[in-house]
Amino acid sequence: MSRTRSRVLIVGAGFAGYRAARMLTRVARRSADVTLLNPTDYFLYLPLLPQVAAGTLEPRRVTVSLSGTLPHARLVLGEADGVDLEARTVSYRGPEGGRGVLEYDRLVLAVGSVNKLLPVPGVAEHAHGFRGLPEALYLRDHVTRQIELAAAAETPQDCRARCTFVVVGAGYTGTEVAAQGQLLTDALVKKRPLRDGIRPRWMLLDVAPRVLPELDERLSRTSDKVLRGRGVEVRTGTSVKEATDDGVLLDDGEFVDTRTVVWCVGVRPDPLVAGLGRPLERGRLLVDPYLNVPSHPEVFACGDAAAVPDLDKPGRYTAMTAQHAWRQGRVAGLNVAASLGYGERRSYRHRDLGFTVDLGGAQAAANPLGIHLSGPLAGAVTRGYHLAAMPGNRIRVAADWLLDAVLPRQAVQLGLVRSWSVPLDTASPELARVPDSAPDQHHGGTP
Ligand SMILES: Cc1cc2nc3c(=O)[nH]c(=O)nc-3n(C[C@H](O)[C@H](O)[C@H](O)COP(=O)(O)OP(=O)(O)OC[C@H]3O[C@@H](n4cnc5c(N)ncnc54)[C@H](O)[C@@H]3O)c2cc1C
């Protein structure tokens, strides 16, 4: 008699969900039907997103086709908006607004995180986040447009405001965005200098006393030096008090005229997990070291959305990084397989392998296996690391890097992603909002 096939549902196909699906379809596909629910048909390699905004990489380079690389998983396009743990169902909204319900025997929640908001007046209206491909595309176009408008500005004041770019938050995202942004705008004005010798001005703010406050101090020092050497104004111990149409008011009383505020103050777990009614740790779904949700052995969670105990640092939880999410995805996949009778379950334990911060050009800061590197060597290690870590598209990425090294960047803005379609306050940074959608309804595509 043939054994009934188990239904495994993975919600979210980022670092954790993608890896879990890959493991499961390798290990247990003889007895499990693996379904992947994700709003986009691709896995997004987020660490290279600043390079999309800077025009070094074309957007499709940082995506990896789900159906192309996970042929044994069934892809359902949609966003989960409800989980019924008792009925073992997940409800979702499809890309064209239709609704559906998926049943499961095993569930893996890997929905990642969204932009973190702070109660600063005007920020939700005037700032943009940096958590998804639409935001990166928007930023590239917006920055290019500001430089073009600055070139045609009638007054020096207008010119200065348009080519002033404020990045709030000097974690790895903000640091990379500012570092790469300054290179982009310098390249844009090189052929056509701005009036009165005005130079694009990038400011990087953080309340912390140093850039990359959560990383090793040596990475911080190297990045600070590269940023300042490039002309980025690094303002530590500084924050934004208010954002308006015309600029930002800093907490030291200075008003900065600008049309660009990039909000990189961090991320918070996807709000879907808060709706489960299970214990949370700072918004992340609490799991045990086996990535199981307590009292629900059939439910697993991993990645940014899960609070996974850090077995090397008792009492603490693993950081929200791709490194952890990728490895937790593997363990989640193996443990789901174990629960179906394939192999033994295992607890999650991983020591940091170091971090890389790509600062654009040949510059980077990196500490692989604790060895501190800077300059072109760090740049080469960083790019090599990304190529090795990407689950696909490596040749295209390498080709773009090569082309960028020998050709000037394309100074055009397509204007396909508009400001209103990438609001800061969204549960779906991976999708651009469309004009005729209901207030809480988004779907992909351009207006
Ligand atoms: C710009 C940037 C640069 C970064 N650089 C680094 C770096 O250099 N090194 C590093 O270690 N970390 C880096 N990170 C952090 C890292 O990307 C995250 O920690 C990692 O992506 C978390 O993996 P995840 O699988 O939990 O979430 P994600 O990779 O974000 O995947 C979540 C998936 O769930 C989907 N999803 C969301 N909501 C729903 C829903 N309701 N229903 C269905 N699907 C849903 C999303 O579309 C997405 O596909 C960076 C992050 C950003 C934003």
Confidence grade of residue 77 (pLDDT, cut at 50, 70, 90): very high
Asked if the model's pLDDT at residue 149 lies above 50, the reply is: yes
**How many angstroms separate the alpha carbon of residue 420 from the centre of ligand 1?**
22
Would you say the CB of residue 173 lies under 6 angstroms from ligand 1?
yes
pTM of the model: 0.95
**How many angstroms separate the alpha carbon of residue 15 from the centre of ligand 1?**
6
Residue to mutate, 37, 99, 107, 111, ligand 1, most ligand atoms under 8 Å from C-beta: 111
Confidence grade of residue 3 (pLDDT, cut at 50, 70, 90): low
Q: What are phi and psi of 342, to 5 degrees?
A: -110, 105
**How many angstroms separate the alpha carbon of residue 111 from the centre of ligand 1?**
8
- Of the two residues 44 and 447, the one the predictor is more confident about is 44
**How many angstroms separate the alpha carbon of residue 300 from the centre of ligand 1?**
17
**How many angstroms separate the alpha carbon of residue 371 from the centre of ligand 1?**
26
Supply the pLDDT for residue 441.
42
Supply the pLDDT for residue 68.
96
Asked if the model's pLDDT at residue 1 lies above 50, the reply is: no
Asked if the model's pLDDT at residue 125 lies above 90, the reply is: yes
Would you say the CB of residue 303 lies under 6 angstroms from ligand 1?
yes
Would you say the CB of residue 16 lies under 6 angstroms from ligand 1?
yes
Would you say the CB of residue 17 lies under 6 angstroms from ligand 1?
yes
CA distance linking residue 36 with residue 43, whole number of Å: 11
Would you say the CB of residue 364 lies under 6 angstroms from ligand 1?
no
For 335-346, how does the pLDDT look when each residue is reduced to its tens digit (9 = 90+)?
999 999 999 999
The protein residue with its alpha carbon nearest to ligand 1, atom 31, reads: 14
Task: List the one residue out of 355, 345, 402 whose CA is nearest residue 378.
Answer: 355
DSSP conformational letter for 297: E
Least confident of 18-22, 151-155, 292-296, 422-426: 422-426
Would you say the CB of residue 15 lies under 6 angstroms from ligand 1?
yes
Region 380-402: mean pLDDT is 96
Would you say the CB of residue 323 lies under 6 angstroms from ligand 1?
yes
Asked if the model's pLDDT at residue 372 lies above 80, the reply is: yes
For 172-202, how does the pLDDT look when each residue is reduced to its tens digit (9 = 90+)?
999 999 999 999 999 999 988 899 899 999 9
Asked if the model's pLDDT at residue 427 lies above 90, the reply is: no
Strands 284-286 and 306-307: parallel
Percent of the chain topping pLDDT 70: 97
Mean pLDDT (the chain, rounded): 94
Query: Is the separation of the CB atoms in 410 and 422 below 8 Å?
Result: no
**How many angstroms separate the alpha carbon of residue 56 from the centre of ligand 1?**
21
Confidence grade of residue 126 (pLDDT, cut at 50, 70, 90): very high
For 285-330, how does the pLDDT look when each residue is reduced to its tens digit (9 = 90+)?
999 999 999 999 999 999 999 999 999 999 999 999 999 999 999 9
Q: How far is CA 393 from CA 26, 46, 67, 329, in A?
A: 21, 14, 14, 20
Supply the pLDDT for residue 437.
53
Dihedral over Cα of 3, 328, 45, 140: its sign: positive
Percent of the chain topping pLDDT 90: 88
**How many angstroms separate the alpha carbon of residue 154 from the centre of ligand 1?**
42
Q: Which atom of ligand 1 is nearest to the CA of 13?
A: 49
The protein residue with its alpha carbon nearest to ligand 1, atom 19, reads: 321
For 350-370, how does the pLDDT look when each residue is reduced to its tens digit (9 = 90+)?
888 899 999 999 999 999 988
Supply the pLDDT for residue 236.
97
Asked if the model's pLDDT at residue 443 lies above 60, the reply is: no
Q: Which domains does the chain have, with CATH numbers?
A: 6-39+78-115+268-339 (3.50.50.60), 123-265+354-421 (3.50.50.100)
Q: What are phi and psi of 290, to 5 degrees?
A: -90, 5
Supply the pLDDT for residue 440.
44
Region 119-146: mean pLDDT is 96
CA distance linking residue 417 with residue 421, whole number of Å: 7
DSSP codes of every residue in 132-194: SHHHHHHHHHHHHHHHHHHHT-SSHHHHHHHTEEEEE--SHHHHHHHHHHHHHHHHHHHSSPP
The protein residue with its alpha carbon nearest to ligand 1, atom 8, reads: 47
